[in-house]
Amino acid sequence: MTNYMSRKDLTLFLGFSAVVLLMPLWLAPFGAGYPDLLQRFMIYGIMAVGFNILFGLTGYLSFGHAAFFGVGSYTAVWSFKLLTLDAIPALIFAAIVSGLFALVIGFLCLRRSGIYFSILTLAFAQMSYNLAYSVLTPITNGETGLQLTLSDPRVLDQVTGQTFVGQPVPTLLGQQLGGFTGFYFCAFFLIAAFFFAQRIAGSPFGMMLRSIKSNQTRMQFTGFNTRPYALSAFVISGMYAGLAGALLAVTDPLAGAERMQWTASGEIVLMTILGGVGTLVGPVIGAWVIKYFENILSALNDNILARFWSFLPDGVADVVVKVTSKFVGDGWHLTLGLVFVIIVIFLPGGIMEGVRRIGAAFNRRRGGTPDRATQTQPAE
Amino acid sequence: MFEVIFLQFLNGLDKGAAYALIALGLTLVFGTLGVVNFAHGALFMLGAFTAVTVRLFLTMETVTIDPTQLSPWGQPLEVREPLVQAWLGDFGGVLVNYSVPVSILIAIPIMLLIGIALERGIIKHFYKRPHADQILVTFGLAIVAQEVIKSIYGPNPIPQPMPTDLRGAADIGAWLGMQANIITYPIWRLIYFLFAGIVIGAVFAFLQFTTFGMVVRAGMADRETVSILGINIDRRFTIMFGLAAVVAGLAGVMYTPLLPPNYHIGMDFLVLSFVVVVVGGMGSLPGAVLAGFLLGILQSFASMNQVKAIIPGIDQIIIYLVAVVILLVRPRGLMGRRGVMES
């Protein structure tokens, strides 16, 4: 194992796995130790890891990643409906279909780079979203969303003679995937996804992607055809998104078109930037932070705030409650937007760069050499 | 058949005018400052909410109880009268009726201030940063603006009535000497189109015929040389950002009677406007206007039932489809200059 992975990588991977697997324990004091939220953490973590392969490593800012997420969800639900309620075939199909979808879209979009690439992906994602809402209603069930019903054919389940009582839910080898089982199922995929991303980042292929980011033209002059590499990164990233979408369908078998809207794509960008683009762990942390605060802040209301600020004098407390209530509950997106703007302005490397800077400050005090934070440059 | 086509053409004009106005502002910012402004849709939305706010103020009412009259329930009648009407008499009534056009006067200084504050406060620091960072920070600003409006006005659309005199439809067919009542078109849409024409004309005239505009154009062509000649080009570009904000804001103000504004109206238009800018050619002002109208009209034709019968769903995707084709076939857009953002 040691000649296969460097010691540093292995430590990172094992540490990451431990953190993920122990989440139900160490997140419980923060009020986030319940399976629903933890499943979301895993799913959006996978999505962010995949997005980072494209944006962080290769430098292409896609504004249409939610399309692959949506395609993955729809494929998974169709697999539940037509074939079997088992989760594994659904995930495989979702990864394949979203990969093919990414191959087509990536083939077209990667002809351009920089801002044009962003707009092209945005255009394709909006097209998929609009079509999912209108013409493709037979496939997507439009606004209602695609859901499982008792009368679904489920050919494979029929053959193997499995029957269900009540509302059908996805299973794994006959085992229901609710609660913490579902969490560990998703956690397995996040760890696998992380491992794979780590392998990519350290491989010659990953090196190639990095050099596309830093100077694509020079690569071409040196005689490399960069497009197949960028396309592979796009497809891998799309498959990650499809897998995440399928997992979301596993934990909650209802696929709606709003998952494909461009605001959903924007959210992935936010997560990646917030955590730290270009780092392995950063995007996952970004996804966790956003999902955590989405859950916590949007659940707060005036009563809770009033109790929180009750140590202040009455008049002051009322004002403070009024002001802070604008930033929580429904208004938590405002907080998110503000934090995001501040991060982009002052800390372009996100949370990870913040951690690094703090570490560097401690080092300097001890007399060590400060390591310079590297700023990321996207492909233009 | 000619009537049908002509009518669809007209239908495309007002949406096309809105696209053209927003795309014009986007291009102004991109051409002068080189910034890809994802917050431009938010400026459109802020303009629309200026109109909402003006109307809120204009329709603040006094409630007086008139004991001489009785309501149908036998209570003394409550007479509600807008304050402006109480103070200014009939003129106040006209103000309330024409609240949307009146908002234009108020929106101009407000949008100018917002634009300049935005540029000096935040965007200024991003000229040297990569385009992706500019996209990200303006995207964040758009979210903030949107959420502030949502927390003030709530998530639901707020309909704005158009002035009573302008509510009907104009019989354009009759004007052009055709049969009456075949081609009719809502007056407000016609006004929107004319208004957009005036604003676009004014912007072009400003750039073409004033010294200020001349300097700005020179700066767009070669910023460095202009600043070496001792001209403070940065200050002028800041004002151009303000101007772009005004154009977006005015487009928003006048659009309110056509589409009740809600907090995400800007984002909806922004995505389309980017596509418009790209089709027209990054940095080309005439291209932005042309592409705006072109795509508006195309969309209108694509939503005809006859067309939808041939290609289902085409009305939903036509604009994006055109953009994809243009970007892949002719990346600098319809009227883009060679070498500007061409890669």
Residue B191 sits at the vertex; the CA angle it makes with B190 and B197, to the nearest 5 degrees, is 95
CB contact under 8 A, A119 and B278: yes
Average the pLDDT over each of A100-109, A340-349, B189-198, B237-246 and give the range with the smallest value.
A340-349
- Phi, psi (degrees; rounded to nearest 5) at B118: -60, -45
Ranges A221-225, B12-16, B130-134: which has the least confidence: B130-134
pLDDT at B338: 66
Q: Collapsing DSSP states into helix, strand and coil, what is residue A172?
A: strand
* One-letter amino acid of A295: N
Question: Which pLDDT value is given to residue B339?
Answer: 58
Task: Answer yes or no: is pLDDT of B231 > 70.
Answer: yes
**CB distance B144–A269 less than 8 Å?**
no
In which domain, by residue range, is B297 found? Answer: 2-65+75-329
Instruction: For Cα atoms A62, A65, A68, give the angle at the middle one, nearest 5 degrees.
Output: 145
Q: Which phi and psi (to 5°) does residue A84 adopt?
A: -155, 155
Q: What is the predicted pLDDT for the residue at A163?
A: 67
Instruction: Decide if A331 and B36 are in contact by the 8 Å CB cutoff.
Output: no
In the structure encoding, which two tokens stand for residue A379, read together? 């492909």
- Tell whether the torsion through CA atoms of A92, A95, A98 and A101 is positive or negative: negative
> What is residue A369's three-state secondary structure?
coil
Enter the tokens of residue B318: 């036509």
Q: pLDDT-based confidence at A377, cuts 50/70/90?
A: very low
β strands within B1-103, DSSP E: 61-70, 76-82
- Which of B140, B316, B323 shows the shortest C-beta gap to A131? B316
Question: Residue A367: its pLDDT value, please?
Answer: 62
Distances (CA, A) of B175 to B3, B55, B169, B178: 14, 34, 13, 7
With CB atoms and an 8 Å threshold, state whether B324 touches A123: yes
Q: Give the lowest-confidence range in A120-134, A167-181, B257-271, B292-306.
A: A167-181
Coil, helix or strand at residue B70: strand
Task: Give dist(CA B260, CA B99) in Å, integer.
Answer: 14
Cβ A345–B125 below 8 Å, yes or no? yes
> CB-CB: which of B140, B320, B341 is closest to A340?
B140
B339 in a domain, yes or no?
A: no
Render pLDDT for A180-226 as a digit per residue (tens, 0 to 9): 888 888 999 999 999 999 999 889 999 899 998 888 888 888 888 88
Q: What is the ipTM of this complex?
A: 0.79
Mean pLDDT in residue range B45-54? 92
Mean pLDDT of chain A: 83
Query: Is it the case that residue A37 has pLDDT exceeding 80?
Result: yes
* DSSP letter, residue B120: H
3-state SS assignment for residue B180: coil
Q: Do A130 and B317 touch (CB under 8 A)?
A: yes
B342 within domain boundaries: no
Range B71-99 average pLDDT:
75
B107 neighbors B249 (Cβ within 8 angstroms): yes
CB B151 within 8 A of CB A328: no
Q: Is B113 left (phi over 0), alpha (psi -120 to 50) or beta?
A: alpha
pLDDT value, residue A3 = 56
Domain ranges of chain A: 7-278
| For testing contact with chain A, the best of B137, B147, B156 (most A CBs within 10 A) | B147
Q: Give the whole-angstrom CA distance, residue B79 versus residue A261.
A: 47
pLDDT on residue B198: 93
* Candidates A130, A135, A338; nearest CB to B312: A135
- SS3 label, residue A69: helix
Q: What is the mean pLDDT of residues A47-54?
A: 93
Total number of domains constituting chain B: 1
In this complex, do A348 and B133 lie within 8 Å of one another by their Cβ atoms? Answer: yes
Predicted local distance difference test score (pLDDT) of residue A374: 45
- Chain A hits for B317, Cβ within 8 Å: 127, 130-131
What pLDDT is recorded for position A7? 84
**Alpha-carbon span A254 to A76, nearest angstrom:** 10
Q: CA geometry: angle at A141 spanning A135 and A145, to 5°?
A: 130
Identify which has the larger pLDDT, A231 or B334. A231
Query: Which ranges in A276-377 belong to alpha helices (H)?
Result: 282-299, 302-308, 314-325, 332-346, 350-365
- Is pLDDT of A370 > 50? no
Task: Count CA atoms within 13 Å of residue B37 on its CB side.
Answer: 35
- pLDDT one-digit tens code per residue, A249-284: 888 877 777 788 777 888 898 889 888 888 889 999
Pair A82, A149: CB distance under 8 Å: no
Say if residues B116 and B241 touch (Cβ distance below 8 Å).
yes
Question: Phi then psi for B210, rounded to 5 degrees?
Answer: -110, 160
Q: Specify the pLDDT at position A195.
A: 93
Q: Do residues A33 and A27 touch, judged by C-beta distance below 8 A?
A: yes
Dist. CA A141–CA A268, nearest whole Å: 25
3-state secondary structure A246-272: HHHHHHCCEECHHHHCHHHHHHHHHHH
CA distance A60 to A69: 18
Closest partner CB to A341 (pick from B137, B282, B328): B137
Measured distance CA(B21)–CA(B246) in Å, rounded: 10
Percentage of residues of chain A with pLDDT beyond 90: 22
- Rounded CA-CA distance A256/A159 in Å is 29
Q: What is the CA radius of gyration of chain B?
A: 22
